[in-house]
Amino acid sequence: MDLRDAAQELYAVLPRDFTARRSELVREAKDAGDKELAKDIGKLGKPAAGAWAINALAVHKPEVIDGVVRFGASLRAAQEDGDADAFRQLGLQRQGELTGAVHDAKDLAAELGFPLSAAAAADVERTFRAAMADAGVAAAVATGRLVRGLSGSGFEEVDLDGAVAGGEFEPEPTSPPKSQSKPKPQSQPESQSKPGAQREPKTKEKKPGEEATSLAERRAAKKKAALEEAQAEFDAAESEAKEADEAAAQAWNAVKEIERRRKAVQADIEEYKKRLASLEAELIGITRDAEAAESDKKRAVRAATQQRRAADQARRRVERLG
């Protein structure tokens, strides 16, 4: 086991298991008698959540990483070749590719038991966007040993220092621009150096003015491609903004409908409260009447009892006299 192997394994484990697994790898290196390796493993830092999700894709779903890398290579090739149509079409497809890759990262993270936060998912998208624009970032993403998220527009070199764990990271050199990839003019054939030999015109050499014009054309093509890309992004953003506006309007209408229903229910409650208060007052009156009637009943019963006793006494007196 070397440092790269250790990092390859370590940066694929769940973030919550990172520290424990790192300690185990340090102990394994010490047991193997490699104190220097143990020291280097102990220095490996915990990856950011977004970087971990990309590493997990590299291990469990490498086809997702490969798709991002290949799409970015096609996008850069179209830009370098000055193929405005291809670059525009790829630019329109880019957001869909990014969205799909981010969804794959989120789904895999959830399956592994470590769901991504919104900030981590945004970090994944920024890193994939940079990978599509920069070959060095694409190589870093494919290692599976990413420590932090990356960002870049493709116009400036992305700082990869410390972005990949497991020793020094040397990305593959990017393809040279089309103007530099053409074969250089070969040296003059021996037959042309002889006296009387027929010389072919030197068509590959350019005067300084012509080179400046070619450079200006390349810059103009690159600027045009960038403008078309920006326009495509604007159109996509405008479409998404309109959809968001429609969703917001629907949500607003839903809120207003719920508010109307709430007020109606509240009005019913107030009405029922008033009715309840009236009924409670009526109940109090009835209770008082019932208490008065109960008192009258008791008095009537007592009077009836007394009258019944008087009648019984009169009856017994009559019986005695008779």
Which pLDDT does position 173 carry in this prediction? 46
Return the percent helix, strand and coil in the chain, to nearest 5: 75, 0, 25
Average pLDDT over residues 124-131: 94
127 within 8 A of 141, measured Cβ to Cβ? yes
Q: What is the pLDDT of residues 194-244, one digit of tens each?
A: 444 444 444 444 444 454 455 556 666 666 666 666 676 666 666 667 667
Q: CA-CA distances (angstroms) from residue 37 to 5, 143, 239, 249?
A: 11, 20, 53, 60
Q: Could you tell me the pLDDT band of residue 126, with boundaries at 50, 70 and 90?
A: very high
Average pLDDT over residues 37-42: 92
Stronger pLDDT, 308 or 247, i.e. the higher one: 308
DSSP helix/strand/coil, 228: helix
Return the amino acid letter for 219: R
Q: Which residues fall within 8 angstroms of residue 43, CB to CB, at 6 or more apart? A: none
Q: What is d(CA 40, CA 2) in angstroms, rounded to the nearest whole number? A: 10
Q: What is the pLDDT of residues 138-188, one digit of tens each?
A: 999 999 999 999 987 666 678 788 889 887 666 654 443 333 333 333 444
Question: What is residue 186's DSSP assignment?
Answer: P
Exposed/middle/buried for residue 28 (C-beta within 10 Å: 0-12, 13-18, 19+)? middle
Q: What is d(CA 263, CA 259) in angstroms, rounded to the nearest whole number? A: 6
User: Model-level pTM greater than 0.75?
Assistant: no
Average pLDDT over residues 291-310: 88
Supply 26's token pair: 């340090």
Exposed/middle/buried for residue 229 (C-beta within 10 Å: 0-12, 13-18, 19+)? buried
Nearest to 157 by CA among 183, 128, 136: 136
222 within 8 A of 154, measured Cβ to Cβ? no
Return the amino acid letter for 118: A
Q: Measure CA of the first residue to CA of the last residue in the chain; give whole Å.
A: 137
Angle (deg, nearest 10), helices 84-111 and 49-60: 90
118 within 8 A of 50, measured Cβ to Cβ? no
94 within 8 A of 71, measured Cβ to Cβ? yes
Average pLDDT over residues 245-271: 81
